[in-house]
Amino acid sequence: MSHASAESTSVLVRSYRDEDEPAVLELLQASLGGGPTGRRTAAFFRWKHVDNVFGRSLMLVAEADDAIVGLRAFMRWAFVVDGRRLSAVRAVDTATHPAHQGKGIFSRLTLEALELLRAEGVDLVFNTPNGKSLPGYLKMGWKPVGRFPVRIRVRHPVRFGRGARGALSGAETATPMGDVTGADPAAALLREGLGLEALLGARRVPAGRLATPVDADYLRWRYADAPELGYHVVLDAAGGGLRGFAIFRARSRGALREATVAELMVRPGEERTIGSLLARVGRASKADHLALSPPAGAPESGSLLRRRAVTAPRGMTLVVNPLREGIEPSPEALSSWSLGLGDVEVF
């Protein structure tokens, strides 16, 4: 790894060390704000970057005058497609101290990290940057894939109509809410004997699409162990078997209450269960609307379109940087992806 100077300021680029955590959290808070939980905590940072079921993040820091002035984090992920597994990372938590912006630190951290990832054999980088950071990624070679659609199911049309403009434009900050009743914490999905493994084993990933490998370990890390996000679950386990479940979290968006449904999954042939699960999510969260987007090609996705779920005016822009040639299907085509809302929110 290069340790050369950047412009006239001596900037050292090195791997992140655990003792860097307090300084990195301070930098993230100052540069990016509180994030999805409203504050940058050690517990959330470790859950995301250290305890990740896919592995510890690759993180580089930039130092100047014995202070950390930049961070570049690539969070581990994986995809399966037609029985094959691809190694991936997602570009997250990019921060440069305001006093050191415009000195090439972002570019240098990124290029050195990509060099390390290629050497490891990582297949691709992906992320959903905001409008401010998107031009920088495109300049560095990321390819725009398309818009990741978010579906909205309105429960209270009058209230929703009054508050929708600010909430769905992104102008309003989403704040976690804890007053959920009639739903269990997400860990309840992992109860022994519930039948989760049977449900997961009965599902098939849509052919020819990149999908996150979902198993009990993934669900435990992603939802049960996630600190401060308040994920809950409603289950349909009538008749001695798990027919389906929905994992969600309640948030405020301005004057509106939103239930973000991160996972919606039913056994094949049980699509009629979807309506009852979503109704229970709505009652438990007291939401004005539900935000959800099951993976493309999954039966739940088609069912939502038949249940009057509309597409939000703003989605998320998916971009990708393949780190090797010949990846099939091409990650640069939106039709090659089967992402759900749980794959892209909070990161």
Tell me the H-state helices in 262-335.
273-285, 299-306
CA distances from 171 to 43, 163, 166, 168, 256 (A): 27, 11, 5, 8, 13
CA distances from 8 to 104, 193, 326, 335 (A): 11, 63, 40, 46
pLDDT reading at 8 higher than 50: no
Structure confidence at residue 170 as a pLDDT band (50, 70, 90) = low
Instruction: Report the pLDDT value the prediction gives residue 171, as an integer from 0 to 100.
Output: 46
CA 90 to CA 73: how far, in whole Å? 8
Instruction: Report the pLDDT value the prediction gives residue 219, as an integer from 0 to 100.
Output: 98
Judge whether 55 and 76 are in contact, CB under 8 Å: yes
Give Cα 122 distance to the centre of its chain.
19
Query: Which residues are within 8 A (CB) of 209 and not within 5 positions of it... i.e. 6 or more apart?
Result: 81, 295, 296, 297, 329, 335, 336, 337, 338
Judge whether 150 and 293 are in contact, CB under 8 Å: yes
Lowest mean pLDDT among 39-48, 218-227, 266-275: 266-275
CA distances from 90 to 48, 94, 99, 321, 334 (A): 11, 11, 26, 10, 17
pLDDT reading at 9 higher than 70: no
Nearest to 224 by CA among 245, 240, 208: 245
Q: What is the pLDDT of residues 10-47, one digit of tens each?
A: 899 999 999 999 999 999 999 998 888 888 999 999 99
Would you state the structure tokens that stand for residue 123, as one six-digit string? Answer: 């297949």
- DSSP string covering 154-202, please? ES-HHHHHHHHHHHHHT-SPEEE-----S-EEGGGGG-TTS-HHHHHHH
Percentage above 90 pLDDT, the chain: 71
Backbone angles phi, psi at 29, to 5 degrees: -60, -45
Structure confidence at residue 173 as a pLDDT band (50, 70, 90) = low
pLDDT reading at 174 higher than 70: no
The more confidently predicted of residues 269 and 321 is: 321
CA 22 to CA 28: how far, in whole Å? 10
pLDDT reading at 5 higher than 80: no
Mean pLDDT confidence for 258-266: 95
Structure confidence at residue 241 as a pLDDT band (50, 70, 90) = confident
The overall average pLDDT reported for the chain is 90
Global pTM? 0.92
Lowest mean pLDDT among 107-116, 134-143, 167-176: 167-176
Cis previous bond, 329, omega within 30? yes
Nearest to 264 by CA among 227, 230, 235: 235
Instruction: Report the pLDDT value the prediction gives residue 92, as an integer from 0 to 100.
Output: 96
Would you state the structure tokens that stand for residue 211, as one six-digit string? Answer: 């999908």
Structure confidence at residue 305 as a pLDDT band (50, 70, 90) = low
CA 218 to CA 229: how far, in whole Å? 16
Structure confidence at residue 58 as a pLDDT band (50, 70, 90) = very high
Structure confidence at residue 6 as a pLDDT band (50, 70, 90) = very low
pLDDT reading at 169 higher than 70: no
Would you state the structure tokens that stand for residue 327, as one six-digit string? Answer: 């990846």
CA 340 to CA 333: how far, in whole Å? 16
Give Cα 36 distance to the centre of its chain.
11
Percentage above 70 pLDDT, the chain: 93
CA 138 to CA 76: how far, in whole Å? 21
The more confidently predicted of residues 88 and 159 is: 88
Instruction: Report the pLDDT value the prediction gives residue 214, as an integer from 0 to 100.
Output: 96
Structure confidence at residue 4 as a pLDDT band (50, 70, 90) = very low
In DSSP terms, 91 is beta-bridged to: 74
